[in-house]
Amino acid sequence: MIARALPDIAEGIAARLLLRLLPDPRTAEIEPRLSALEADEAVALAGVLSSLKTDHESLSGSPAIQRQVRDALAAVLRRGPLSDARRDAATQRLGTAGSLPLSDYKISIPPGLFKTFQEFGERQNYVESAIREADACEHISIRAAEQEEQVAHSLFVRRVTSKSGEYAHLVITQRVGKRLDFNAIWRVYPEVVRWDRSPRDILRAFVQQFGLMIDIPTRAPTQFIESDAVPQPAYSTARLNVVNAPLGHEYMVFGTSRMSAALPVLSLSFVYAVDLTVYGEFLATKRR
Amino acid sequence: MAGLCLYSATPWVKLLIQERYRQNVHFVWCSEHADTRLTHPNSLPYNTPPTSNPAEIYAGLRTYVQRGGERHNDKVNSIRQGCEARAVEWREAGVITTEQQDEIFALVNNPDCRIWRPVLLVIPRAPINAARVQLVPPAKRAGFAEEWTISDLRRDEFDEVELP
């Protein structure tokens, strides 16, 4: 409301003026700062004071008026950046960069994918708790090749104490704007992985225990691909193959893989395969 | 004798802004004491006003967050407005883009008050060239004790501590 009543002040001038008027515990007196105003700042200040129906003298003597002037200048600065469209676009970028408070992210859990984890006793609210009340969280942005868009992952670890003992939930998600797309939830027991590591290292150690080897054309087989851009001729349909799955075992491949739009490469990030049979049998021993 | 470390308290969001938009180069205003109230009562630092004592700055921000962020907190409003004005200044100087300026505005206006949670910066003095540590002139200090600024502190030159 204040901003609408204000004269049209250029943002740069409003910013300079605001910086001069901000309370400085070290120079409580405002007079020296007011007397040092540039000509354009003085004109802007006169305009603000007039719109607030007050004057220079009142400004010097009244912290309340100083606050009103600062609020009015701040309102001028906010008109553009905090307009709905620009604020929303900025928030989406902050979301992908991992700079938003966790409470701001919307968690998306595909029901089809989650069925696998339900079989291991997981519930959707465990995922939400692990994210909202994480003991450790790591945001990772990966660019598999220079021309590629970044892929953003967020990993969360939350310690849980249950009747059957202590374990940690490790949740892996992909960040897309303000959304966290669920990718996996694993139970990590302290005898398998030490918890004083980063979530990324906990995932690596978990994969060492329950992972299977993955074979990709032109690369040596490996258990975990954090980031890679694999040359892929257009005619080739070869993708990822799990090479050492024991007969009759169920397994699943996790992570992000996509063909590049710009290059004949397959971009991979956080790719690993888990032997679900071995993992399920291990969990069963913990529940006995 | 100069202390082995310098201390500074700041809201987490300011640290994030300097990390993301200032190439992780930080401007800090610091003290030789994490809590000047713990110095000898006859010493100069003992009389440092709360506004310059890292421990009291830290406590003030922590109380703000613990209370769920009062809507009209002058201290936080001032820091928020300072960040916004700096963002415009940096954008006008060509240091950041309009998109980045908007991100700073969106960050400091986020309704989650936890972005204002305090962090204590612990800055070991030995690795920092003495010329980079500027003594604040007495007229610009809040009290009688010595205060320092470092305008180009790199992220690997300090530890960030959040007290339990």
Residue from B16, B75, B103, B144 whose CB has the most chain A CBs within 10 Å, to mutate: B103
Which of B16, B52, B81 comes nearest A25 by C-beta?
B52
- Structural fold of domain B5-68+117-161: ADP-ribosylation fold (3.20.170)
Does A22 contact B82 at a Cβ distance shorter than 8 Å?
yes
Q: From B102, which residue of chain A is nearest by alpha-carbon distance?
A: A81
Write out the H or E segment, with its range, that includes residue B118.
Answer: strand B118-124
A10-68 tens-digit pLDDT: 999 999 999 999 886 555 667 777 778 899 999 999 999 999 999 888 888 888 999 99
Residues 6+ apart with CB under 8 A from B39: B33, B45, B46
Which of A15, A19, A26 comes nearest B141 by C-beta?
A26
Cβ atoms of residues A128 and A103 within 8 Å: no
Does A12 contact B115 at a Cβ distance shorter than 8 Å?
no
Q: What is the pTM of this model?
A: 0.83
Is residue A254 helix, strand or coil?
Answer: strand
B50-96 tens-digit pLDDT: 778 899 999 999 999 999 988 778 889 999 999 999 999 999 999 99
What pairs with residue B5 in β-bridges? B124
Alpha-carbon distances of A262 from A124, A258, A268, B45, rounded to whole Å: 37, 12, 15, 61
Alpha helix locations (H) across B30-97?
Answer: 54-66, 74-92
Residue A219 forms contact with B (CB below 8 Å): no
pLDDT tops 60 at residue B105: yes
φ, ψ of residue A90 in degrees (nearest 5): -65, -40
Residue from A67, A99, A103 whose CB has the most chain B CBs within 10 Å, to mutate: A99
A196-216 tens-digit pLDDT: 899 999 999 999 999 999 988
Buried b / exposed e over A171-198, threshold 16 CB at 10 Å, is: bbbbbbbbebbbbbbbbbbeebbebeee
A263-272 tens-digit pLDDT: 777 888 899 9
A 91-130 residues with CB below 8 A of B?
A: 91, 93-94, 97, 99-101, 103-104
Q: Which residue has tokens 């990590």?
A: A188
Alpha-carbon distances of A35 from A30, A31, A107, rounded to whole Å: 9, 6, 53
**Beta strand pairing call for A106-108 and A179-188:** parallel
